[in-house]
Amino acid sequence: MLCTQPHTGMKTFQHFLSGQFLQAYLPPQCHRTYSCIHCRAHLANHDELISKSFQGSQGRAYLFNSVVNIGCGPAEARVLLTGLHAVADIYCESCNTTLGWKYEQAFEATQKYKEGKYIIELAHMIKENGWEDKENVVAAKK
């Protein structure tokens, strides 16, 4: 079943079994996608990427406008590098690995743009579909 995500208009393929949600798949026209490194469930379309300049608890992290196949834990107040935020841990619905967090509320005016956005740590995701290996491209040109 092809579904449109609320607020973003992003289309996903969702599989249902006896009324129970199983997994969303980004459509083939989403040429560059990010998937869970542990189970390969789709997580995000590259077009939803806002920034690569974030820091997670395990290293670099990306900020996304929207994601799929993600569950949210309860929101809690945390002091992060950019100040106090209300965040909820997010996890892969397929393998239950904690991937990052969702910004529920930012308390500083300069950080409000993060509200409703998602952080996924690079340690937990892999690029798939249509990414070119820059080393192979450079080697082929020589």
pLDDT tens sequence for the chain (142 residues)? 333 344 444 444 444 444 454 677 766 665 789 999 999 999 999 999 999 999 999 999 999 999 999 999 999 999 999 999 999 999 999 999 999 999 999 999 999 999 999 999 999 999 987 666 554 333 334 4
Let me know if residue 20 belongs to a domain: yes
Q: What is the pLDDT of residue 105?
A: 97
Question: What are the strands, taking DSSP E only, across 18-117?
Answer: 20-25, 33-36, 42-45, 49-56, 59-64, 70-80, 83-92, 98-106
Let me know if residue 141 belongs to a domain: no
Partnered with residue 84 across adjacent β-strands are: 79
pTM over 0.95: no
Task: HSE, CB side, 13 Å, CA atoms: give it for residue 44.
Answer: 25
CATH code of 115's domain: 2.170.150.20
- State which residues form the domain around 70: 2-130
* Total domain count, the chain: 1
